[in-house]
Amino acid sequence: MAMIDISVKILRYQPEKDEKPHWQVFPLTVEDEFTILDVLNEIHWKHDGTLAYRRSCRSSICGSCAMKVNGRNVLACETPIHRFGKKLKIEPLSGFDIIKDLAVDLEPFFAKLKRIRPYLILDKPLPDKEFVQSPGQLEAIGESTLCILCAACSASCPSSWPNQDYLGPAALLKAYRFIFDSRDDGADQRLEIVNDKNGIWRCHTIFNCMEACPKKIKITEYLSRLKVKVVENSL
């Protein structure tokens, strides 16, 4: 471990006093093993208590701390500063209203999740024990269940930025996760919801979501399978 000097430029917005967002630079001396979250904590705890950001688990599972660092969407807690060198530029996720500094308004994001009916829909009676699901059937949805709803994907999606009504990659991935679950009987309802100009067809296979996903989920691939399913279903 060694100490290094870094320069951290943060997009600040304090709604009670700022008219619009502006940049503020913090010169810091920090440990070279620091993560982005360590840097934010250092600023918040030692230099400027007014800095606002979200964080909780600090082990890449809760999804609180997605933000844009040097142009890339990352989880602050798992991202070491050495990935970016000594100049950091930190800003909130794009495509969302800023509440304050790095905290953005996620209500629309979670509302979209609800729109696709994110729960198992069953026509059949419940078995006494578990439903039988083969390892192969589970495999079809396994990776998609890793999603931590951090919103890094939706914030990276050029189709999402100009169109607040677009479901976006996270909600569509969730639709995939249930439609392709061998236990589910609700595919028809959900396919109808996603078969819309603001549903799956607004995905233009740009791959940004996949590159932004901290869990490395092949989102674009799953959304493409969803498109195929919609077409198959309407034939």
Provide the binding-site residues for another protein, judged by CB under 8 A. Answer: 14-17, 35, 44-46, 48-64, 78, 80, 99-101, 103, 106, 110, 113-114, 117-120, 122, 126, 128-135, 137-138, 141-142, 145-149, 178, 181, 183-184
Smallest distance, another protein to C-beta of residue 27, A: 19
Smallest distance, another protein to C-beta of residue 16, A: 4
Smallest distance, another protein to C-beta of residue 72, A: 15
Closest to another protein by CB, 5 vs 124, is: 124
- Per-residue H/E/C for the chain: CCEEEEEEEEEECCCCCCCCCEEEEEEEEEECCCEHHHHHHHHHHHHCCCCCCCCCCCCCCCCCCEEEECCEEEEHHHCEHHHCCCEEEEECCCCCCEEECCEECCHHHHHHHHHCCCCCCCCCCCCCCCCCCCHHHHHHHHHHHHCCCCCHHHHHCCCCCCCCCCCHHHHHHHHHHHHCCCCCCCHHHHHHHHCCCCCHHHCCCCCHHHHHCCCCCCHHHHHHHHHHHHHHHHC
Smallest distance, another protein to C-beta of residue 89, A: 21
Closest to another protein by CB, 25 vs 120, is: 120
Closest to another protein by CB, 147 vs 223, is: 147
